[in-house]
Amino acid sequence: MAKAKTVYTCQSCGAQWPKWMGQCNNCGEWNTLVEEIVVKSKQPVQAVPKSYSSPLRLEQITSGKQERIDTCNSELNRVLGGGLVPGSLILLGGEPGIGKSTLVLQVALALKDRKVLYISGEESLQQLKMRAKRLQQDSADCLFLSETSLESILAHMENEKPDLVIIDSIQTLTADGLESAPGSVGQIRECASAILKTAKPAHIPVILIGHITKDGNLAGPKVLEHIVDTVLQFEGDRNYLYRILRSVKNRFGSTSELGIYEMRQDGLRIVSNPSEMLMLQHNDGLSGTSIAASIEGMRSFMIEVQGLVSSAAYGTPQRSATGFDLRRLNMLLAVLEKRAGFKLMAKDVFLNIAGGLRVDDPAMDLAVMMSILSSNFDISVSKQSCFAGEVGLTGEIRPVNRIEQRITEAEKQGFSEIYISRYNKGVDFSRFKIQVNQVDRIEKMVRMVFSQQK
């Protein structure tokens, strides 16, 4: 007979303990231990199963002709690497209200001549119809189901044989063989594994929507991210209209791609030219702003960087950065003081990346420094100038990758000059109509930029 045993599983890290504790001794989180009943079977394990497959050499494996499925969404196709791979599992995570359900519903309704099975464990069928009316879309090939039972969902997948399955969300599913609550570590692990075993042999792509914790990480065990083929992060500030779709893990494409959307009343709109969006509020004649030529994934766009420097009112200077690494901001301020002689350590410094974006491109360093110095001098930077360069600890301006693509984007957006590193070699800058200024030191850069504006 099978023997039942009670364990307490941490919802944050998945560690199991024989008794309840207020704090998990493995990850240090509080009030994350949940009681689960584990059934251990005493049946002997067979050394060789009755039906098994033989190992094959690489030349014996047939590749087959599995074309990617076009999602009719260019930004999602870009992030996925060209479309949906048959039999792949995609996990989409994001904060509540960011637009995850809206995105997948738009994809489901946009796919024509393909059967889509949309399973919702959080909304009723009437609520789904109201959402579809708001999006002003309809599809005769999309089937909707409000269900949380794992066994029922697997049966529908086998009977309907859809071309795409969407489950919203994985935390609401329950398996009959487990006594734990929905959303627990055991339930998520069991449901994801069962869906994987059903979808892979049938070559059915599955999109799973996942919740996130207060720290911004995907809720549930870490094994969930290992099981799926692709992990997408849908992020953005709810006070702004723009949303960013990032690829955190992708077995079939690059993890450096991103998609940009604009949230509207009738759903998410694809932003084809993000440079115009991110420079929309740039005003000429105001100090503290500069434009950076940035690259995320395979696309380049221009980003407005806003800086504010003021006298410290409370003795201890404040440092605040929105959309930029605060530690890197402190490093750049130290370089300005040590290498260029600007006394900024006794002043409050605030930095903001316009549009609510989070940028990690090292080429942002020059634009960050210029916006801070512009606010400090109260001298505006010409709106016809943009910057692309990394700043080292010795004050040198280091080269950045794909400089030709950055210059081309700056020229396309109508800029008259761009400041880059002197050490970018092997590029014929004469073929560009835009003026390319090559500088090797930050102090030379300051003289070149602000001597013309005084």
Residue 96 marked in a binding site: yes
Q: Mean pLDDT for each 10-residue chunk of the chain (454 residues)?
A: 72 83 88 74 47 78 78 92 92 91 93 92 92 88 93 93 93 85 83 93 93 77 87 82 88 85 89 73 75 86 92 84 94 92 89 84 94 93 93 94 92 92 89 93 91 64
Q: Domain spanning 68-272: which CATH class is it, in words?
A: alpha beta
Residue 99 marked in a binding site: yes
pLDDT of 428 reads 87
pLDDT of 47 reads 44
Question: What distances in angstroms separate CA 39 from CA 240, 405, 453, one per listed residue?
Answer: 48, 58, 75
Which helix (H) or strand (E) element contains residue 377?
Answer: helix 365-377
pLDDT tens per residue, range 25-70:
888 888 888 777 666 655 544 444 555 678 889 888 877 657 899 9
Q: Cα angle at 72 between 66 and 74, to 5 degrees?
A: 100
The rounded Cα 155 to chain-centroid distance in angstroms is: 33
Residue 94 marked in a binding site: yes
pLDDT of 127 reads 93
Amino acid found at 376: N
Helical residues (DSSP H) of 93-241, grouped into ranges: 100-110, 125-135, 150-160, 185-202, 223-227
CA atoms of 224 and 236, how far apart (whole Å): 23
pLDDT of 9 reads 82
**CATH assignment of 276-450, given 3.40.50.2300, 3.30.300.30, 3.40.50.720, 3.30.230.10?**
3.30.230.10
Residue 442 marked in a binding site: no
pLDDT of 401 reads 92
pLDDT of 157 reads 93
For helices 185-202 and 150-160, what crossing angle results, to 10°? Answer: 10
pLDDT of 283 reads 59
Residue 253 marked in a binding site: no
pLDDT of 204 reads 94
3-state secondary structure of 450: helix
pLDDT tens per residue, range 419-451:
999 999 888 888 899 999 999 999 999 999 987
Residue 101 marked in a binding site: yes
pLDDT of 253 reads 86
